[in-house]
Amino acid sequence: MTDFITVAKLGDIPEGEGKAYKYNSRMVAVFNRNGEYHAIDDMCPHMGASLASGHLEECTVVCPWHSWSFDIRDGAWCENRRINIDVYQVRVVGDDIQIAATEKNQGNDSETPSPTNPDGSSDDRN
Ligand code: FES
């Protein structure tokens, strides 16, 4: 069963911006793109910056620390779309913005695989 929780009210997240909210034991970045809401893991898998404070360009959020970018619709890392951070379901009920884990990340509070070494190999990018 999907458990939606209310994290914000309509108007709390300005258009073209994101804000971070606690969902279970994780922080989730919720973005308002033209009145549509999308939610992904807030923690950048590179070095842990808050993606909610990144710059939103169309459907991509650019990490404020080292400019890695992620698609807010599916969590894909733009340099290699086979690598994803977690996404969350979003719905609006009345004035409430609610999020829920997807089937993929439901009950999974383990760390998201890092794009720096998704297959266990090292990567020298900084
Ligand atoms: S912490 Fe996000 S790109 Fe480095």
Distance separating alpha carbons of residues 65 and 82, to the nearest angstrom: 22
Interval 3-24: pLDDT, tens? 899 999 999 999 999 999 999 9
Written as six digits, the tokens of 44 are: 């950048």
61 Cβ inside 6 Å of ligand 1: no
Q: Which H or E run includes 65? A: none
Domains of the chain: 5-101 (2.102.10.10)
* Sequence letter at residue 106: Q
Query: Which of 27, 41, 42, 47 to mutate for ligand 1's pocket (most ligand atoms within 8 Å of CB)?
Result: 47
Cα angle, residue 44 at apex, residues 24 and 36 outer, rounded to 5°: 70
pTM: 0.84
66 Cβ inside 6 Å of ligand 1: yes
Interval 84-120: pLDDT, tens? 999 999 999 999 999 998 877 765 544 444 555 444 4
46 Cβ inside 6 Å of ligand 1: yes
